[in-house]
Amino acid sequence: MIVQFLSIVIFTFSLTLLVLGAVTWWIERERKRVLGVWMIASGLFIAIGYALLGSRFSIAWFGRLIVAVDLPLLWATAILYTIGVLGGIGLAGGIFMWMSGRLTRLKPTRIEKQLAAYIGVILLVALVISLIAVLLSR
């Protein structure tokens, strides 16, 4: 369990370095763009190095697997969980900002009210589907 947790931390760290490096490269000008390239290279180096520890090259070099987990499956799970967590935080934060008046005017427009109703209906449908899935899985 701890190896899986650490693998997800390492992968998420390297993925974050890649994304932030790309953003830095895109936003900055001239000499500061090099920082973005270094961040991208660091993220790739970490991800590739860790992947090698769980591959057949690890067996050839060290005689055993250093990381004994299914890395592709674990990394796919890490991506899915990271996107899910960030999406949930973003959705909740956006609704909070909208409700507190920080994101829009104090008086919501008709479209904003419809959007809020739409999000509410979508959340209700998701809740109903989740309850049905739980009942069927028993």
Question: CB of 11 within 8 A of CB of 78?
Answer: yes
* Calculated CA dihedral for residues 134, 135, 136, 138, nearest 10 degrees: 90
106: which 2 tokens? Answer: 């104090």
Provide the 8-state DSSP code for 70: -
The two three-digit tokens of residue 121, written as one number: 């209906």
pLDDT, mean of each 10-residue run, the chain (138 residues): 75 84 87 87 87 73 70 78 80 71 65 77 78 78
Q: How high is the pLDDT of residue 66?
A: 64
Domain limits, the chain? 2-103, 105-138
Q: What is the pLDDT of residue 41?
A: 92
* pLDDT at residue 104, as a whole number: 56
Give dist(CA 31, CA 48) in Å, integer: 27
Separation between Cα atoms, residue 19 and residue 11, nearest integer Å:
12
Instruction: Give me 102's structure tokens.
Output: 């920080």
Looking at residue 55, what is its pLDDT?
72
| Residue 82 CA from chain centroid, whole number | 3
Enumerate residues 6+ apart whose C-beta is below 8 A from 20. Answer: 39
